[in-house]
Every structure is written in structure tokens, then in C-alpha cells.
Amino acid sequence: MKTHRIGIIMNGVTGRMGRNQHYIRSILAIRKQGGVRISDSETIMPEPILVGRNENKLKELAAMGDGIAWSTDLDACLKDEKYTIYFDAQTTLRRAAAVKQAIAAGKHIYCEKPTAENSAEAIALAQAAEKKGVKNGAVQDKLWLPGLRKLRYLIDSGFFGEILSVRGEFGYWVFEGEHEPLQRPSWNYRKADGGGIIVDMLCHWRYVVDNLFGDITSLSCLGATHIGTRWDESGKPYTCDTDDAAYATFETEKGIICQFNSSWATRVNRDELFEMHVDGTNGSAVAGLRNVKIQHRGNTPRAVWNPDIESPVKYRDWWIPMPENETYDNAFKVQWELFLRHVVLGDPYRWTLREAAKGVQLAELGLESWKKRCWLDVPAL
């Protein structure tokens, strides 16, 4: 069995997302399964080194795997030719400088989003990687969730006919931290630390909409700070000075209208924390993170407005769940495997730093739209 061993500098894995999704459920899972199998006699085996500032956390994470290295010296790791990929899951404020340094060192780049604080910086990173000739990618994990993969199948098979509109609902109640422990980091609600749901979620909605419903050409966005005071990890109250909810409308090149509500101040009355309702001329679907319900034209009940009586139609009963025809792997792990194949084999890979810059651009325009209270065009990048 031929094994392609590829060294990966994993910076920022002591954080929630880096630890759980990228290290434990992706890289460690790939190692435990014997690598990425590319033929009956060939595999790709990731060889990570964990990088951060907290030695104790790094030691704890390294102990989860067999022979996992760790370091607090990023400069030394970037000089080590054993490591050809640099991965970044740090906070947004720290990411661009480290990625730029890794590009200069000739490392292939894979990183979380947003890739930078503003679109100019995000585009500059993409251009630097392209000029240096290094392979590059950004995390766009939701495209590989079971619900969105099923939705992709419905689109490709022509189930909807002409798609008319999309309504996305994302969010949940994040406890303020006074009486119940908060379940998101407190920096999410401080502007100076890179917080805000527009910056966080519009990067996601950009690649979701672009890949499923066509490139976004214009938008309108209204933000809000619904909860003005929260309590941090040490129990101290602080003022929230950035948005914890966003109400955005996008128009795509195909004329599809997409409305996406994102909130950390809403109580859930949905089957999943994120759902998209897609309406088409021939059918509709409600897609969550994992499950999808469909209703075809021939199975659509007749609705008649009459608020004076109890509804004779149980509308939810007319929706049919899509069957589980395949087993779906972790979305982050799936994209990691694709990127490793891209680096080792040169397989096509289109989820690049330039694509990620489009997400930063959309978030930036969302903030501008909120400030000006107007529709804005989305220039091509």
C-alpha cells in the first residue's frame, strides 16, 4: 500500500470549531479510518502538528491521537518543509496575517471563514495565493450537510421546475450568561473583537445561495442588536455593541428571491436550527441540516382563506420526508478529504480563497446596506 504522508500545520485548534469539527471529527477521524483511500493500493495520510498559545490545551489535544505533534512556535513550523499545508481556525482578527505569512512560506492554504476582516484584505489573500502558485481552499462546510446534499439532488433532477423563491431561517436563543451559561463565546457580541452575526453568517449564505440558486447580484440587509447586555465567561456584564440578528434579502442571477433570517435571539419552533423553504412551479421542499420534506404539485392541498373556522386541512400532513438512500459523512471531514485529494492528486477544487472573499464581500455589503437602509448591487469578483 502506497501512502502519501502530508504534513498539516493546524493553527487555532484549541477553539471550539477547530477542536471539534476540524481536528477530532475530521483529521483524527481520517487517520483512524486509515487515511483517504484513493485506490485499492494508495492512500493519503494527514500528519498534523497542532499550533497555538496554550501548551496545556495543545498537550491535551495531542494525546487524543497517536503520535500527534504540537508547538507554540508558528514561525518554526512554517520553516519546516515536512509541513506543506497551513490550516487556520483562529479568530477572524488573527487569521489574515497568519495566512499571509504561510503563503509567503510556500504552504498550501486551507482556512476557516471569514478569511479576513474586509473584502479588500480577503481578495488580497486570494491574489497572493494565486501569485505564489499554492493550492488554496476555504471551509464551506454546509454544502456537504445531508440536508443540502438532498436539496442539491432535487435541484439537479428537476424536481422544482422553475425555482421561484427561498426562505432561510437560522438561529436559536443564546443565553445572556446571567442565569444560564452562554453557549457562544462572548466575543461574538463585541465589535472590536470581530463579533456580529452579519459578519459570521452572510459568509455562509453567500456560498449556499451561489452554489444552489445562482450567484447573488443584489441584496438588502437590516441588522439589529436585540440583547443589549450579556455576561462574559467570567460572569461580568458587558455591553453588546454589534448585531445579534440579521434580516437579509438576496436576488440571484437567475431571478430567484432568497430571504434569510439569522438570529441569536430567537426561540426555535422548527425541526432543526437551520431550515430552507424552497418553492418551485412543480414542487416545494423544506431542507434542514439533515432532513428534507417535499411536496409535489400533484400532492398540494387546496388552501382556502377562512379564519372563522378551524382549518379543515392539516397542511403539515401533506409533506413527505425524503428517504435516506445513502450514508452521509461529517460535512467538514468530506471537504477536508476533497482538499487533501486536490493537494496530492490535483483533483479539481473550486472552493478557494477567492470564493471565500465573496462571502466577506457580502457581509461587508450587508453592513453597508443596514447603515444606508438601501438595496445594493453585488459586484463580481
User: Where exactly are the structural domains of the chain?
Assistant: 2-140+331-349, 143-329+361-376
Report the DSSP beta bridge partners of residue 191. none
At 93 the pLDDT is: 87
Q: Does domain 2-140+331-349 have CATH number 3.40.50.720?
A: yes
Q: What is the distance between the alpha carbons of residues 117 and 352, in angstroms, rounded to a whole number?
A: 17
Q: Which residues of the chain have pLDDT under 70?
A: none
pTM attached to this predicted model: 0.93
Q: Which of 272, 280, 42 is nearest to 162 (CA)?
A: 280
Tell whether domain 143-329+361-376 is in CATH 3.30.360.10: yes
CA 318 to chain centre: 31
Find residue 245's DSSP bridge partners: 224, 263
Radius of gyration of the chain (CA): 22
Average pLDDT of the chain? 96
> Which grid cell is 181?
451559561
Cell numbers at residue 136, please?
488554496
